[in-house]
Chain A
């Protein structure tokens, strides 16, 4: 181990917090939101790789590999949904999703959700 595990963990928590800041400040922009989540997952991968190096076991590297595969599936599906919505809406703003309500607003919405069922 070239540096103490502590330093790797501190670097990873810095990255994780940067990702969190990105998610919190770009709440309305889906692309930037996804980028923030990517940064957070990379921080997790760094901890796994550092841990694997520290303990001399391959488990952590395998977990990091799986995180990579998992995020690629999530990103591809998210972007497929963004493209679908953009074709109909011409907007990728989270605030404009679901009847112009930001994430988590609780007031009763208009009836678009279910009443379009035949």
Chain B
């Protein structure tokens, strides 16, 4: 990607965006107010989309912005607004004793993952560029069945939501 700029700059950009993603996510999960949490999360997803672009997946980057940051987060926002959940004052922020086991567990997982991942770099590194054409050809030829399954699932998401939302037809 991005042939006109030098690889050093791309690398620096990667680490900056990685930091933005992690920091925004930390803010999102520690935020008491759901609306603020979602705004932080949208920031994090934008940075993640830029990371996807740097990792030579422009299609996924676009869909990340359109579907995640656009549709799913707006859906959350819509439900929060509709149900008027934007007043967290009456609900308690999780205390230290709720944080502690979570942090311990996650810290242990992270340390284990770090040890597993850092002690050996044995994965062969071969560079190749995946174009959108490659993705499209593979998507509709090799993984045609997957498209059918996911489209049925999307249909039934609509069916299920309609079913749960109906009133009066009982």
Contact = CB atoms under 8 A, between A and B. Distances in A.
**Do A and B touch (CB < 8 Å)?**
yes
Interface of A: 1-11, 13-22, 24-27, 29, 31-32, 34-36, 38-39, 42, 45-46, 49-50, 52-59, 61-62, 64-66, 68-77, 79-84, 86, 92-93
B126 interface: yes
Given A17-B109, A25-B98, A45-B60, A56 B127 contact: yes
Contacts, number: 215
Chain B interface residue bracket vs A: 35 or more
A7 B63 CA distance: 23
Contacts of B52: 45-46, 49
A58 B138 contact: yes
A53 to B, nearest CB: 4
A69 B10 CA distance: 29
Interface of B: 7, 10-11, 14-15, 18, 21-22, 25-26, 28-29, 34, 37-38, 41, 44-45, 48, 51-52, 54-57, 59-60, 63-64, 67-68, 71-72, 75-76, 79-80, 82-83, 85, 91, 94, 98-99, 101-103, 105-107, 109-110, 113-114, 117-118, 121, 123, 125-130, 134-135, 137-139, 143, 146, 150, 153-154, 156-158, 160-161, 164-165
